[in-house]
Structure 1
Amino acid sequence: MELELDDDEMPATPAGMLAKRVRRARKNADLSLRGLADKMGYPHTYLSRVERGEQLPSEALAEDLDDFYGTDGLIVELLAVAVAAEVPTYGRRVLEQEKRAARIQTFNSSVVPGLLQTEPYTSALFIESMPGKDAEKVALQVATRVHRRAVLDSAAPPLYWAIMDESALRRPVGGAAIMAEQIRHILGMIENISGVQVQVLPFARGVHPLLGGSLSLLTLRDGTSFAYVESFASGVSVDSPVDVLELTTLLDIVRSKALDSGESVAIFHKYLKEYENDETDS
């Protein structure tokens, strides 16, 4: 027996309104969750999480729901609003422009870059770094991050060039099993997506000009570029050509200190083996 929620139980947030609208459309069509799943070819457990507001739908599901219910793009639009609402104001420009980017270059000095993260890694990261936040808020933050990753699976994905500090591999976010899965995911992306390149900046290369923060450089399809600098709980977009050039130079210095592709793959395998051994010992 399927457990149905009352509309009044959903929070008055963009994600809650999206879940409410999707559930109402199904009820108006006089369908059960399993009946909808049979007709659309999606797992009923996935559709249930979407209707309960526990997970944002993928863009593909949102489009399919609009087609199925004849809602003229409403669900896709609500999804865009819900995703934007879960991103801090200072980060919304990056969210908007990622889909229009021809190239994304990024460096992160402490954790795995966002578009490379697995869902368990992201969840562990948010749970440990968002003290006092309730489970629903954390779940929506995770869903937003997962949703953003779809840009690398699009029909015309950008070139994605990530540099990550070795500290992101050394820091066991979520424990050995989650880290092993995370590293396998990165290796899989490097192997299977030609437009994804990942380099590791090892401890042995010493200091560099981007210690303690993260930097993203986005080049849009019209040739324009902007930079996004993020630190603890804050971030800023940089448009000035002079400032973007200066930040590009800093990223180039970091890249020159990083391991090349083959060396980076080797260090990923080194850490993967260590975490897999930790799994076996625990």
Structure 2
Amino acid sequence: MHDLIRARQPEGPAHEWAQHVEFRAHRRTIIQRRTAPVRLDVVIGEAALRRPAGSSAMMAKQMRHLADIPGQLPQVTVRVLPFSAGFPGGISLPPFVILGFGETSPGEPVEPPVVYLEAVVGNLYLEKPEDTANYHEAHARLVRAALDEADSRQLLRQVAREYERGL
């Protein structure tokens, strides 16, 4: 993680790299906590699996970790969008996160959802209802086009074996 963040901003100060790593590690803790863990529904493009971001051994370990997460954390769903799915919705989407903040007992959101986009020029938060609705629909299209959870695990393990063989 540290190497990826440093590669993104090589001229940045080391303390900022550490802050980014700490922030991402904190996200992991709220997903793994025992009391009220956050639900995480991930769709990963196959290109991200096949573009090395480290050694082959590290990539194989990462693929196996992604395949095993749903069995360890039932609130996490991991699906892969295969190359064969093309571009659901007709365009390639940048990575995005839809942040939901829970609901009150009658089903109303505690806070309106926010879409988070990480970009080269800075991070962007979209709060307008029409923007968040568009990203909810984009996510739904990705989920419909992605492999189901079992086939995604199988592909992740296949890619792990490919990295282990040095392909």
Common fold by TM > 0.5: yes
How far the C-alpha of 1:251 sits from its partner, in A, is 1.5
SS across alignment from 1:167: helix
Q: Which runs of 5+ in 1 are unaligned?
A: 1-121
Tell me the distance in 1 between the aligned counterparts of 2:6 and 2:115: 28
Alignment correspondent of 1:262: 150
Alignment correspondent of 1:160: 40
AA paired with 1:247?
Answer: Y
Question: Larger helix proportion, structure 1 or 2?
Answer: 1
How far the C-alpha of 1:129 sits from its partner, in A, is 2.1
Determine if contact 1:173/1:179 at 8 Å carries over to the other structure. yes
Alignment correspondent of 1:192: 72
How far the C-alpha of 1:184 sits from its partner, in A, is 2.1
Alignment correspondent of 1:146: 25
How far the C-alpha of 1:247 sits from its partner, in A, is 1.8
- CA offsets, 1:28-55, max 9 Å, x none? xxxxxxxxxxxxxxxxxxxxxxxxxxxx
Q: TM-score, normalised by structure 2?
A: 0.83
Tell me the distance in 2 between the aligned counterparts of 1:228 and 1:126: 18
Q: How many corresponding residue pairs? A: 158
CA, structure 1 residues 174+233, in 2 after alignment: closer, same or farther (shift >3 Å)?
Answer: farther
CA, structure 1 residues 128+230, in 2 after alignment: closer, same or farther (shift >3 Å)?
Answer: closer
What is the root-mean-square deviation of aligned Cα atoms in Å?
Answer: 2.0
Which residue of 217, 220, 223 maps to 2:98?
217
Q: Which runs of 5+ in 2 are unaligned?
A: 104-108
Alignment correspondent of 1:124: 3
Alignment correspondent of 1:96: none
Alignment correspondent of 2:106: none
Tell me the distance in 2 between the aligned counterparts of 1:266 and 1:195: 19
SS across alignment from 1:235: strand
Tell me the distance in 2 between the aligned counterparts of 1:244 and 1:134: 33
Determine if contact 2:67/2:152 at 8 Å carries over to the other structure. no
Tell me the distance in 2 between the aligned counterparts of 1:139 and 1:228: 21
Name the larger-Rg structure. Answer: 1
Tell me the distance in 2 between the aligned counterparts of 1:199 and 1:143: 26
Give the structure, 1 or 2, with the largest relative contact order (CA under 8 Å, sep 6 or more): 2
Tell me the distance in 2 between the aligned counterparts of 1:127 and 1:160: 26
Q: Once the two structures are aligned, what percentage of the paired residues are identical?
A: 27
Tell me the distance in 2 between the aligned counterparts of 1:135 and 1:176: 26
Tell me the distance in 2 between the aligned counterparts of 1:273 and 1:207: 27
Determine if contact 1:212/1:231 at 8 Å carries over to the other structure. no
- CA offsets, 1:184-211, max 9 Å, x none? 2212311111100011111111123462
Deviates more, 1:205-214 or 1:178-187: 205-214
Q: TM-score, normalised by structure 1?
A: 0.51
Tell me the distance in 2 between the aligned counterparts of 1:144 and 1:251: 24
CA, structure 1 residues 140+226, in 2 after alignment: closer, same or farther (shift >3 Å)?
Answer: closer
Tell me the distance in 2 between the aligned counterparts of 1:255 and 1:141: 28
CA, structure 1 residues 245+137, in 2 after alignment: closer, same or farther (shift >3 Å)?
Answer: closer
CA, structure 1 residues 256+213, in 2 after alignment: closer, same or farther (shift >3 Å)?
Answer: same
Alignment correspondent of 1:228: 116
Alignment correspondent of 1:253: 141
Give runs of aligned pairs for residues 49-128 of structure 1, distance below 5 A: 122-128=1-7
Alignment correspondent of 2:87: 207
